[in-house]
């Protein structure tokens, strides 16, 4: 802009307000319910092995979600969150990235993590907070993270990862900036994707993060999962604007809305978004529309806040839609698919049984990692605690036997 | 050595850091071309470019979220919050994110590269919202380090140590002393170890403890006390978190008396933590109750600032009370 107010000055002599819904935002849809490409749509360039990895990830995550929901009901884990209905949104977007791109997720993105290579045992060890959990048994189930897989550890406070993604991506960009001109001197090799729900997008951190990404040109793909609910609060009690996408325009960010149950649309949009981010250094906003088919978490029952009729209306399964397309491509053998599902279920049960008997972390993990090395006051508290436990070993059976 | 005020000393520490790390960034409100409202970052944008020294939009939670992300990436993130009074919109990012980044991830990720600089304290006719000393809020948060310098030499050495420390550090700068405090400061790089208090003046009758701008006040009180024949041991805590219990306990074991003074309101101020710990450590050596000379439990006033602040006269009164107990 060439004026101090940084606005477009289209002088008008008509007293007219712009309507709050002036933008008529389209939703990209490529694959139909029968697994065929819509007329007039173009399928993205996706090779067989990527498409199969995408499908296998969704297939695995559906099985994991079903098993762990049941495990919570049996009292074997304290908490779980399924991603039913949103598998394609999360997996296809992760599939469109580079393995070394950073993922900063909210919590319902286990599919992206599995796509990266997080193993079944790693999932289980985290959920059982045993001593092999990368997070050392400190966070509630499903708060995964892995530096090796460039998947930032999940944090419960909603929205906090949004401005962090802006800062992280800025760091990824710095080495590509010419100090003389301030412009990019090469394409950015790795960028950040940031997932969040339409509920979390009401947090101040959302506004701060998107605005700063636009102003400072951070190569972030903001991926809003609009699944219609934030626990029990429906989206129409969350905001009045046209979804989350309309806000992107307000921040001056390139924006697209996609059908989140359509793996090909999500893949195509995210690939394109990545191209924009790596070549211009600028952020992109993707709003994915996919209904949350399951409960928010194991702690709520949706029948208390939405009707069976409504649920029946949105039952379409994103995995099934993509499976039909794969079969039509002759990339998936249906018999093997059925067999694989059976094997996955067995593997999951076996892994669950392995993880639940692995010991909890030793006592020293209570005080490690607060700082790079424990500060003196914490060392004193730790010694005191050790002595106390040694005197009352029966009261602290998890750690008493292993205190050095 | 060169004569510097505290702003020059801080600027020098930042300059050394920017030269050392090609990815280090300084950011905050008005810190770019203008060099910050107090001019602590003067000249740095010209030297290191707009992409490394830049104004942010007016959003403290955004600044701290951005800083956490940049630090997690591995670049030294030197964030400025324009006034400590305005750090509260960023409270969640600091308390729930910076402080817990390493712990919650099992050390998969950390923000050890983060340093938050922010001017704090009164004495500039700033009223409620340009005068606060919010260190105690943050001292209640495991995972943070908190540092407060008292003069230019301390400011440069402690800031360099804070930046190099592999933990998130909040560096509270006594804004009243930015230009008022001058002294000899080496132009080259040096660091002062974090977590260590400094005995500024040795004494035998009573230990006086403070940090930052309040040091000037207790040193003044100590001088007045000595004119009346009372020998004060004056200590600068320097680091609030972690704090140097040993140095304080050693001094109180010797003098048998302790007075802690800070500008923040007395209730739940950091003095409370010190007093609780020292009475436990030094119980049998105490000659009198430990006293606190602090701000009142009111918001920071304007017209009645002189009445509110824990000035040298109030500290002197406490010294007498302690010695005559
Ligand atoms: C700051 C904060 N406030 C409240 C919560 C409690 N909480 C957890 S999930 C959730 C709803 C989030 O909804 P949305 O962002 O739409 O994501 P979804 O669960 O639909 O994937 C709430 C309110 C929280 N974790 N953090
Ligand atoms: Mg939602």
- pLDDT for A207-243, tens place per residue? 999 999 999 999 999 999 999 999 999 999 999 999 9
User: Which of A289, A297, A332 minimizes the C-alpha distance to A314?
Assistant: A289
CA-CA-CA-CA dihedral for B180, B184, B186, B191, to nearest 10:
-70
B273 has catalytic annotation: no
Does residue A403 or residue A111 have the better pLDDT?
A111
Same domain, B125 and B83: yes
Same domain, A371 and A257: no
**What is the residue-averaged pLDDT of chain A?**
97
Same domain, A327 and A396: no
Q: Which domain holds residue A390?
A: 363-402
Give the H/E segment covering residue A289: strand A284-289
Give the pLDDT of residue A404.
80
What CATH number is associated with residue B313?
3.40.50.920
Q: Is residue B192 part of a domain?
A: no
Q: Is residue A381 part of a domain?
A: yes
Given a cut of 70, whether residue A196 has pLDDT beyond it is yes
| Inter-residue contact B191 to B169 (CB < 8 Å) | no
Give the pLDDT of residue A1.
61
Q: Is residue B193 part of a domain?
A: no
Q: Is residue A41 part of a domain?
A: yes
Supply φ then ψ for residue A225, to 5 degrees: -95, 95
| Inter-residue contact A93 to A223 (CB < 8 Å) | yes
Contacts 24+ apart (CB under 8 A), B303-312: B305/B122, B305/B123, B305/B125, B305/B131, B308/B122, B309/B122, B309/B123, B309/B263, B310/B214, B310/B217, B310/B261, B310/B262, B310/B263, B311/B217, B312/B217, B312/B218, B312/B220, B312/B221, B312/B224
**DSSP-assigned states of every residue in B235-271:** EE--EEES--HHHHHHHHHHHS-EEEEEEEESTT-HH
CA-CA-CA-CA dihedral for B8, B12, B18, B24, to nearest 10:
-60
Same domain, B22 and B83: yes
Residue A210 in 3-state DSSP? helix
- pLDDT for B142-169, tens place per residue? 999 999 999 999 999 999 999 999 999 9
- pLDDT for B311-320, tens place per residue? 999 999 999 9
Same domain, B178 and B308: no
Residues in chain B closer than 8 A to A162 (CB atoms): 65
User: Which of A263, A290, A315, A258 minimizes the C-alpha distance to A57?
Assistant: A263
Same domain, B22 and B167: yes
Give the pLDDT of residue A326.
98
Testing ligand 1's pocket by substitution, the residue of A200, A260, A295 carrying the most ligand atoms inside 8 A of its CB is A200
Give the domain-ending residue among B143, B159, B185.
B185
Same domain, A305 and A379: no
Catalytic residue among B80, B130, B216, B219: B130
Mean pLDDT of B113-133: 97
Q: What sign has the CA pseudo-torsion B316, B318, B319, B321?
A: positive
| Inter-residue contact B29 to A160 (CB < 8 Å) | no
Same domain, B164 and B230: no
- Tally A–B CB contacts below 8 A: 170
Same domain, B157 and B219: no
| Inter-residue contact A147 to A117 (CB < 8 Å) | no
Contact A153 B23 (CB under 8 A): no
Q: Among all chains, which residue has been given the structure tokens 């949009």?
A: A269
Interface of A with B in 359-388 (CB under 8 A): 368-372, 375-378
Same domain, A316 and A369: no
- pLDDT for B224-260, tens place per residue? 999 999 999 999 999 999 999 999 999 999 999 999 9
Q: Is residue A344 part of a domain?
A: yes
Q: Is residue A2 part of a domain?
A: no
* pTM, entire model: 0.98
Same domain, B155 and B304: no
Q: Is residue B105 part of a domain?
A: yes
Same domain, B224 and B319: yes
Q: How far apart are CA B150 and CA B201, in angstroms?
A: 14
Contact B242 A167 (CB under 8 A): no
- pLDDT for A257-286, tens place per residue? 999 999 999 999 999 999 999 999 999 999
Q: Among all chains, which residue has been given the structure tokens 């399964």?
A: A317
B130 has catalytic annotation: yes
| Inter-residue contact B197 to B248 (CB < 8 Å) | yes
Reading the block at residue A204, the tokens are 């101040």
Same domain, B90 and B17: yes
Same domain, A251 and A343: yes
Give the pLDDT of residue A315.
85
How many structural domains is chain A composed of? 2
**Angle A197-A203-A204 from CA coordinates, rounded to 5°:** 140
- pLDDT for A41-91, tens place per residue? 999 999 999 999 999 999 999 999 999 999 999 999 999 999 999 999 999
Same domain, B205 and B179: no
| Inter-residue contact A103 to A111 (CB < 8 Å) | no
What strand order describes the sheet that includes B198-201? B198-201, B232-236, B206-210, B258-265, B291-295
Same domain, A252 and A343: yes
Q: How far apart are CA B251 and CA B278, in angstroms?
A: 10
Q: Is residue A1 part of a domain?
A: no
Cα B62 to chain centroid distance, Å, stands at: 23
Diameter of chain A by CA atoms?
A: 84
**DSSP-assigned states of every residue in A67-93:** HHHHHHHTTSSS-----TT-HHHHHHH
Same domain, B181 and B202: no
User: Which of A90, A82, A343, A71 minimizes the C-alpha distance to A224?
Assistant: A90
Same domain, A320 and A392: no
Same domain, B129 and B219: no
Q: Is residue A313 part of a domain?
A: yes
What ligand 1 atom has the least distance to the C-alpha of A198? 16
Residues in chain A closer than 8 A to B243 (CB atoms): 377
Cα–Cα separations (whole angstroms), residue A8 to A24, A88, A245, A290: 20, 39, 21, 35
- pLDDT for B37-61, tens place per residue? 999 999 999 999 999 999 999 999 9
Total residues belonging to chain B: 325
Give the domain-ending residue among B136, B157, B185.
B185
Given a cut of 90, whether residue A203 has pLDDT beyond it is yes
Give the pLDDT of residue A316.
86
Q: Which domain holds residue B262?
A: 198-323
Work out the minimum CA distance from A185 to partner chain B, whole angstroms: 13
Supply φ then ψ for residue B209, to 5 degrees: -125, 135
Give the pLDDT of residue A2.
77
What CATH number is associated with residue A231?
3.40.50.970
Mean pLDDT of A378-391: 98
- Close Cβ partners of B120 (under 8 Å, ≥ 6 residues apart): B83, B84, B132, B133, B134, B135, B148, B172, B173, B174, B175, B212
Reading the block at residue A226, the tokens are 């609009």
Q: Please tell me the number of the ligand nearest to residue A196's CA.
A: 1
Same domain, A195 and A333: yes
Mean pLDDT of B5-11: 98
How many structural domains is chain B composed of? 2
């Amino acid at each position: 802009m060439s004026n101090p107010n940084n606005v477009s000055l289209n002088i008008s002599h008509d007293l007219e307000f712009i309507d709050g819904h002036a933008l008529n935002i389209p939703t990209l849809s490529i694959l139909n319910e029968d697994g065929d490409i819509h007329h007039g749509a173009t399928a993205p360039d996706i090779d067989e092995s990527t498409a199969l990895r995408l499908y296998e990830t969704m297939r695995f995550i559906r099985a994991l979600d079903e098993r762990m929901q049941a495990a919570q009901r049996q009292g074997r884990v304290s908490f779980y969150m399924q991603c039913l209905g949103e598998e394609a949104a999360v997996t296809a977007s992760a599939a469109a990235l580079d393995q070394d791109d950073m993922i900063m997720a909210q919590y319902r993105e286990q599919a992206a993590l599995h796509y990266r290579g997080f193993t079944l045992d790693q999932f289980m060890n985290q959920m059982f907070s045993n001593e092999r959990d990368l997070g050392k048994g400190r966070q509630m189930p499903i708060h995964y993270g892995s530096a090796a897989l460039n998947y930032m550890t999940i944090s419960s406070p909603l929205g906090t990862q949004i401005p962090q993604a802006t800062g992280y991506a800025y760091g990824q960009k710095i080495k590509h900036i010419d100090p003389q001109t301030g412009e990019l001197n090469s394409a950015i090799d790795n960028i950040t994707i940031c997932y969040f729900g339409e509920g979390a997008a009401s947090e101040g951190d959302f506004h701060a993060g998107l605005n700063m990404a636009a102003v400072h040109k951070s190569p972030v793909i903001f991926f809003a999962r609009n699944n219609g609910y934030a626990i029990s609060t429906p989206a129409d009690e969350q905001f009045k604007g046209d979804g989350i996408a309309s806000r992107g325009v307000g921040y001056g960010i390139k924006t697209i809305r996609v059908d989140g149950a359509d793996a090909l649309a999500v893949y195509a949009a995210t690939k394109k978004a990545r191209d924009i981010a790596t070549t211009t250094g600028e952020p992109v906003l993707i709003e994915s529309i996919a209904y949350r088919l399951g409960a928010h978490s194991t702690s709520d029952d949706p029948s208390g806040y939405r009707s069976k009729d409504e649920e029946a209306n949105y039952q379409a399964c994103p995995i099934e839609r993509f499976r039909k397309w794969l079969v039509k491509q002759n990339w998936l053998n249906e018999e093997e698919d059925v067999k694989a599902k059976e094997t996955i279920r067995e593997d999951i049960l076996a892994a669950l049984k392995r993880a639940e008997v692995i010991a909890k972390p030793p006592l020293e993990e209570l005080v490690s990692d607060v700082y790079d090395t424990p500060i003196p006051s914490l060392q004193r508290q730790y010694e005191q605690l050790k002595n106390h436990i040694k005197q009352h070993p029966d009261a602290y059976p998890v750690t008493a036997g292993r205190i050095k | 050595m060169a004569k510097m005020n505290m702003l020059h000393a801080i600027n020098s520490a930042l300059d050394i850091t920017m030269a050392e790390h090609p990815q280090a960034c300084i950011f905050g409100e008005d810190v770019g071309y203008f060099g910050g409202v107090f001019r602590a970052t003067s000249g740095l944008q010209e030297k290191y470019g707009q992409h490394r020294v830049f104004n942010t939009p007016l959003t403290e939670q955004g600044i701290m979220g951005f800083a956490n992300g940049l630090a997690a990436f591995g670049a030294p993130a030197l964030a400025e919050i324009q006034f400590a009074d305005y750090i509260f919109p960023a409270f969640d990012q600091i308390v729930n994110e910076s402080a817990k980044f390493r712990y919650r991830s099992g050390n998969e990720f950390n923000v050890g590269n983060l340093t938050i600089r922010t001017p704090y304290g009164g004495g500039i006719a700033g009223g409620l919202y340009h005068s606060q000393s919010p260190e105690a809020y943050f001292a209640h948060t495991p995972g943070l380090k908190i540092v407060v310098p008292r003069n230019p030499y301390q400011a440069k050495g402690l800031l360099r140590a804070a930046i190099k420390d592999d933990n998130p550090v909040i560096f509270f700068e006594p804004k009243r002393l930015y230009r008022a405090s001058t002294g000899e400061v080496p132009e080259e790089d040096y660091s002062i170890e974090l977590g260590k208090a400094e005995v500024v003046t040795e004494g035998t009758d009573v230990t006086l403890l403070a940090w930052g701008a309040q040091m000037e006040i207790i040193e003044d009180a100590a001088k007045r006390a000595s004119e009346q024949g009372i020998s004060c041991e004056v200590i600068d805590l320097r680091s609030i978190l972690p704090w140097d219990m040993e140095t304080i306990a050693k001094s109180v074991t010797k003098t048998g008396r302790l007075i802690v003074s800070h500008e923040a309101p007395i209730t739940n101020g950091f003095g409370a933590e010190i007093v609780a710990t020292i009475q436990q450590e030094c119980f049998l050596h105490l000659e009198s109750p430990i006293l606190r000379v602090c701000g009142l439990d009111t918001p920071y006033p304007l017209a009645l600032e002189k009445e509110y602040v824990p000035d040298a006269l109030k500290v002197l009164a406490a010294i007498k009370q302690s010695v005559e107990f």
